Structure 1
Amino acid sequence: MLKTRVISALVGLALLIAVLYMGSVVLGVIVSIIAAIGLYEFYNSAAKLKTVQPIKIVGYLSIIPLLLLGLEELGWYKLDLGVLTGISACIIIFLSMTFIVFGHKKYNIVDACITAFGIAYVPFLMSFLILIRNMDHGMLLIWLIFIGAWGTDTMAYTCGRLFGKRKIIPEISPKKTVAGAVGGTLGCALLMLLFGFITQTYFDLKLSYPALVLLGIFCGFISQIGDWSASAVKRYVDVKDYGSIMPGHGGVLDRFDSILFVAPVVYYVLVLFL
């Protein structure tokens, strides 16, 4: 099992580096595909509750704005982010309510709310990956997301294995410990500092070290909230994993649950402070 996880992780890392190197357009297409799969996993998990029937077609249509955002770098058109978000939200609301009216025997307001939550949770939060990649120095800055999410996860796992005794939320995630949570957060801050040193030394990109430490602490915390939130949902709908597309890791949402929470944090810290 561990060997499968390691091999899968290494293959995933190699693919990630290749995608980021190819540019923001390729990333936009890949993120859109990943978001569609993640949304499919979320809706299928929600449907395990026999009283819930997400309006899947509305959810999948929400991938279109994400794809448009990713393809903007081709130069064929120019998007206003606020307008795109507003129009998308209006269309989603209108379509959802239309399904409730004309499909009232199958769908209800709860289904519409689950549908909207899935859109906000997966494609909307994933859009911040594209927004950061489209920034100046985006190919470097986007690594802050992966450090904040997967770096935290790795450090938390290591510290938990070495020092973990007291469980933090056994009802939700039985293997997670207080030592792991603290180690993951502090480890993330250290990894952020290392990233800042590397970018300044080798890429002539200077980032504020105090800001990176604060970003690391915040990402370390919010990353684990993302992980635990996904676990809470899985327990509620009684599934072990969201999917099985990634050997040893489960589904897209099992691997990207912390990414979804970290990406907007990194984006707004970059916009406001860095």
Structure 2
Amino acid sequence: MKQRLTTAAIALIVLFVAMLFFETPVFNLFIGIVSALAVYELLYQTQYVTSKLVLVVSVAFALFFPMLYLKPFKHYLIAMAAFYLVFLGAMFLMRHEKYMLPSICTAFLVTLLVPVVFSVSIILRDRLYPDGIFYYVLALGGGWFADSGGYFIGSLFGKHKMAPKISPKKTVEGAVGGIVATILGYLLIGLLYTLYRSFMGEAIHVSYIMLALAAPVCAVAGILGDLFASVIKRQTGIKDYGNILPGHGGIMDRFDSVLFVSPVLYVFISFASFVTR
């Protein structure tokens, strides 16, 4: 537990530093690094991809993809995705006796999906300025509040297994605790953001009703994302996606839920704003 809390504290400090540069290309690079590490874990640790060349190109793609959201490079987004698809197709044709189609398809899906989803934070920043950082914290919180609430409540009161064949430690009580924790967390984030903007001399109105409606949906999305990542680990026989975060595992062990929360939150924001001026 001590190691887990220490790692969490250090990770939060790194995240805080990255968010100080939220409105700069440095944050794009941060998202690129996280995406690259996640893609590496999903392809290498699981052994879905055994080709070193495919692995290197996939990780490089994930690293640089978030940088393409910067204005000078936006028109290269489709071109880069097309290049990566052609590269995988060429590798399959040249080494079809060694590389099976499922491996190539998995590489394409993972390498495209992960940086695109993680880059939702960049889209939120650019589209919803100056409130992008508020929505990004909600995206992270949707996964992490549900995970932390589920962990602690499940440890204390968990009796009924939720998905014993996928994740034996997860309980129905823990899931409920995670949803409640997310609702409370979202309301707290809304309050803190209102106070921050007020301190900066700007009056805003945060819709706590929208936060209360979005929170349980995002919490469920986070739980499903966690289970999705657990299924992959079960199928591939690995305990964790890596050891870069002692006590937690790999990047994917911490960000798996965010993969599902970010798109769900983006849908909510597309229909209704949480902040008005």
| TM-score, scaled to structure 1 | 0.88
Query: SS of the counterpart of 1:107?
Result: coil
Matched residue type, 1:211: M
* Preserved contact between residue 46 and residue 238 of structure 2 (Cα < 8 Å): no
Write out the 4+ residue segments of structure 1 that deviate beyond 4 Å after TM superposition. Answer: none
Query: SS of the counterpart of 2:242?
Result: coil
Residue 87 to residue 206, structure 1, CA distance change in 2 (3 Å): farther
List gaps (5 residues or longer) in structure 1: none
Q: Corresponding residue for 2:41?
A: 41
* Preserved contact between residue 172 and residue 235 of structure 1 (Cα < 8 Å): yes
Residue 90 in structure 1 maps to residue 82 in structure 2: yes
Q: Corresponding residue for 1:213?
A: 212
State how many pairs are aligned: 262
* Cα distance in 1, alignment partners of residues 196 and 37 from structure 2: 36
Q: Corresponding residue for 2:94?
A: 102
Pick one of 128, 136, 142 that aligns with 1:148: 142
Q: Corresponding residue for 1:160?
A: 154
* Preserved contact between residue 5 and residue 247 of structure 1 (Cα < 8 Å): yes
State the Cα distance separating 1:132 from its structure 2 match: 2.1
Residues 22-42 of structure 1: CA deviation (Å, up to 9, x unaligned): 233211111111111111111
Query: SS of the counterpart of 1:105?
Result: coil
The Cα RMSD (Å) is 2.0
Query: SS of the counterpart of 2:165?
Result: coil
State the Cα distance separating 1:182 from its structure 2 match: 1.4
Query: SS of the counterpart of 1:174?
Result: strand
Residue 65 to residue 115, structure 1, CA distance change in 2 (3 Å): same
State the Cα distance separating 1:133 from its structure 2 match: 3.1
* Cα distance in 1, alignment partners of residues 59 and 152 from structure 2: 37
Q: Corresponding residue for 2:163?
A: 169
- Judge which range, 263-272 or 52-61, deviates more: 52-61
Q: Corresponding residue for 1:190?
A: 184
* Cα distance in 2, alignment partners of residues 217 and 99 from structure 1: 43
* Cα distance in 1, alignment partners of residues 150 and 167 from structure 2: 13
Query: SS of the counterpart of 1:62?
Result: helix
Q: Corresponding residue for 2:258?
A: 259
Residues 183-218 of structure 1: CA deviation (Å, up to 9, x unaligned): 211221222122222222331442322211121011
Q: Corresponding residue for 2:12?
A: 13
Matched residue type, 1:257: D
Residue 205 to residue 88, structure 1, CA distance change in 2 (3 Å): farther
* Cα distance in 1, alignment partners of residues 34 and 22 from structure 2: 17
Residues 143-175 of structure 1: CA deviation (Å, up to 9, x unaligned): 111211111111111221222100101111111
* Cα distance in 1, alignment partners of residues 252 and 196 from structure 2: 34
Residues 205-263 of structure 1: CA deviation (Å, up to 9, x unaligned): 42322211121011100001111111110011000001001111111111111111112
| TM-score, scaled to structure 2 | 0.87
Q: Corresponding residue for 1:179?
A: 173
Q: Corresponding residue for 1:245?
A: 244
Matched residue type, 2:121: L
State the Cα distance separating 1:270 from its structure 2 match: 2.0
* Cα distance in 1, alignment partners of residues 111 and 272 from structure 2: 28
Q: Corresponding residue for 2:272?
A: 273
* Preserved contact between residue 168 and residue 177 of structure 1 (Cα < 8 Å): yes
List gaps (5 residues or longer) in structure 2: 198-202
